[in-house]
């Protein structure tokens, strides 16, 4: 029995079908880059994500990132206090990003004793004394600035003795 063209056609077709997955994976590229702020300092912990997916990474201590994405995708870089940037990859393997400050967003961030949160996500009471209240009078100490301006803050100045201490209680003794 002779095997001429009829034996090689199925083997050739099988070989071509095996190359299709390799061709599909070859469209992904590795994108490397550095994320810095306007002063040139590296941004540690910035989020670098492929747009529309969960494929992402966080920048290291030097602001570096390495991400494997399709060559025609877009990466989204974001960090608290900076404007989110969308950058098309367009086949580039090196992308350096300079983040721009978002001063409006900084007004919505509240720093608490154990981290930070958005003002809208914060539950409980928050009291702030702004610079206008401080500038209205000429205080000589912090207890005079807070006296009567911050709800829930009790100030007891131990006067009469030079160098006496001041006790400040927030929301009572038990909290």
**Per-residue pLDDT at 50:** 92
In the predicted structure, residue 141 carries a pLDDT above the cut 70? no
Residue 48 contacts by C-beta under 8 Å, 6 or more apart in sequence? 33, 35, 56, 57, 58, 59, 65, 67, 75, 76, 77
Q: Look at residue 21 and give its three-state secondary structure.
A: helix
Could you state, in order of their start, the residue ranges of all structural domains in the chain?
A: 5-101, 127-175
* Mean model confidence pLDDT for the chain: 75
- Alpha-helical (H) ranges within 26-140 are 103-106, 131-136
Residue 110 pLDDT level (bands cut at 50, 70, 90):
low
Residue 129 CA: distances (Å) to CA of 41, 147, 156: 31, 11, 18
* pTM, entire model: 0.49
Asked whether residue 100 carries a pLDDT value surpassing 80, the answer given is yes
pLDDT band at 173 (very low <50, low <70, confident <90, very high): low
Tokens describing residue 46: 């910035």
Report whether CATH 2.60.40.1120 matches the domain 5-101. Answer: yes
Instruction: Please check the confidence at residue 52 and state whether its pLDDT lies above 80.
Output: yes
Per-residue pLDDT band at 117 (split at 50, 70, 90): low
């Amino acid at each position: 029995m002779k095997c001429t063209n009829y034996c090689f056609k199925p083997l050739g077709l099988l070989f071509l079908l095996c190359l299709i997955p390799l061709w599909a994976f070859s469209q992904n590229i590795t994108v490397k880059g550095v994320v810095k702020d306007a002063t040139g300092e590296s941004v540690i912990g910035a989020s670098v994500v492929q747009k529309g997916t969960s494929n992402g990474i966080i920048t290291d201590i030097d602001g570096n990132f390495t991400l494997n994405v399709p060559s025609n995708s877009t990466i989204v870089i974001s960090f608290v206090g900076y404007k989110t940037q969308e950058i098309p990859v367009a086949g580039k393997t090196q992308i350096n990003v300079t983040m721009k400050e978002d001063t409006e967003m900084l007004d919505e961030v509240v720093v608490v004793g154990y981290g930070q949160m958005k003002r809208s996500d914060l539950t409980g009471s928050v009291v702030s004394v702004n610079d206008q209240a401080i500038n209205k009078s000429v205080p000589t100490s912090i207890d005079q600035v807070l006296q009567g301006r911050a709800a829930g803050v009790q100030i007891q100045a131990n006067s009469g003795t030079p160098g006496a201490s001041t006790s400040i209680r927030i929301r009572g003794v038990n909290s």
